[in-house]
Structure 1
């Protein structure tokens, strides 16, 4: 668990991608951002402005292109199928958000709204988690089937175990996100008390490094604008 800016940068250096995942998708890269000094809170005018702009942008290209045919999302569907997931049932996170654009994106809280807006605007799977609730480094692995994943069902805590071979993010306590970027655990989720967070932007071949960096820059700018004085560090993990 990080305790200051130096530690956040040191923690970023411990993020890893297992060779078994690299073998599955050699084109995969993760842009990982760690931030401290964040000011959590309910959705506000600034987060609303970001979400509204992302919705307008997405509606523009969605009028001419089905969401599943976007090159980056098509690549993610292929990646999900490669480890046995069915993207029609468990969609990559960016696709799931984009399918909600017509009716309106969810308004959750200011930090979640910010990263959802960047995800939609840049068509990149993006998740945010509370860094204070992490146990050890984040690593992307193929599950053994023994790792616990804590979620909720009908308002009650439930512990699941992923099928062996599923691509998951995990830490020392268990799975933090199932199916690469499909569903996050409850233990590390962002809350109205989160002041330090990690954000993971997932990229496959159709999204170039320059585009991935642009998405990370947009996220950094929005976080600092919403939380003056916040510190953000980033690392591209291959």
Structure 2
């Protein structure tokens, strides 16, 4: 099987269980697999894009409180629906927007780019390495027995999600807790990543057109940074 075929197979095998759509029928996940990435430190191009995104975030925060931003508010409601307290565990969009009110740390070109797109389009985006997955990516409601490998005080620890919590997982365990709150290091991006999986999480009022526009801008930015990348994508929804 070619790499392109394997990535198409990975996307085809991804799923969202009905219990998640029962919780939020308006939920959509747009998955992108981008192959041929070239590792690079933060650079003038990624810095310029992130500067633009931070300025956009500051403009939004000057108009209303972060929790009143439409997509942030929708995610807060979704978190409450499965028992999470959004004031304690913030969805990734809210956390990033709050931090961008000042200045985000520069990590590397890849991370800087997808953080910038998340801010500019106000959509949660997770970045992972699909080659590190064991089996397909699945969004489910947890039983509470699943394993989530994390770090606490620089030491590895095993956590378990709360029963009913919405989690991304593979055959080995949890890859991201509370929908888009905390990604695990096991499948995380690194300086050795050549293929990345990007998960765009959308709720109303974000439209499919806006969701695809965000993905298109990410694709454009990554193509400029790594000419020759190939991109596969899939939209999953209740429909």
Give the TM-score category using the shorter length.
over 0.9
3-state SS in 1 of match to 2:100:
coil
Residue 10 of structure 1 corresponds to which residue in structure 2? Answer: 9
Residue 201 of structure 1 corresponds to which residue in structure 2? Answer: 200
* CA shift for structure 1 position 190: 0.5
Residue 183 of structure 2 corresponds to which residue in structure 1? Answer: 184
1:163 and 2:162 aligned: yes
Alignment of 1:22-37 (within 5 A): 22-37=21-36
Alignment of 1:226-237 (within 5 A): 226-237=225-236
TM-score by length of 1: 0.97
Deviations 1:100-150 (A, max 9, x none): 112202211111111110101111000100111111110100011111101
1:225 and 2:203 aligned: no
Gaps of 5+ in 2: none
For the residues of structure 2 that align with 1:139 and 1:3, how far apart are their CA atoms? 23
Residue 103 of structure 1 corresponds to which residue in structure 2? Answer: 102
Tell whether the 8 Å contact from 2:61 to 2:101 is kept in structure 1 after alignment: no
3-state SS in 2 of match to 1:63:
helix
- Alignment: residue pair count: 237
Residue 80 of structure 1 corresponds to which residue in structure 2? Answer: 79
Deviations 1:153-198 (A, max 9, x none): 1111111011110000000110000000000001011100000110
Q: Once superposed, which parts of structure 1, at least 4 consecutive aligned residues long, lie more than 3 Å away? A: none
3-state SS in 2 of match to 1:150:
strand
After alignment, is 101-110 or 216-225 more displaced? 101-110
3-state SS in 1 of match to 2:13:
coil
3-state SS in 1 of match to 2:99:
coil
Residue 137 of structure 1 corresponds to which residue in structure 2? Answer: 136
Question: Per the alignment, do residues 83 and 3 of structure 1 end up closer, same or farther by CA in structure 2, a change over 3 Å counting?
Answer: farther
3-state SS in 1 of match to 2:42:
coil
* CA shift for structure 1 position 33: 0.2
1:90 and 2:117 aligned: no
Tell whether the 8 Å contact from 2:16 to 2:140 is kept in structure 1 after alignment: yes
TM-score by length of 2: 0.97
Deviations 1:14-51 (A, max 9, x none): 11100000100000000100011101222111211110
CA RMSD of aligned residues (A): 1.1
* CA shift for structure 1 position 3: 5.7
Would you tell me which structure has more helix in proportion to its own residues?
A: 2
Residue 116 of structure 1 corresponds to which residue in structure 2? Answer: 115
Deviations 1:65-102 (A, max 9, x none): 11110111101000000011111111010100000112
For the residues of structure 1 that align with 2:15 and 2:139, how far apart are their CA atoms? 6
Tell whether the 8 Å contact from 2:57 to 2:101 is kept in structure 1 after alignment: no
1:173 and 2:172 aligned: yes
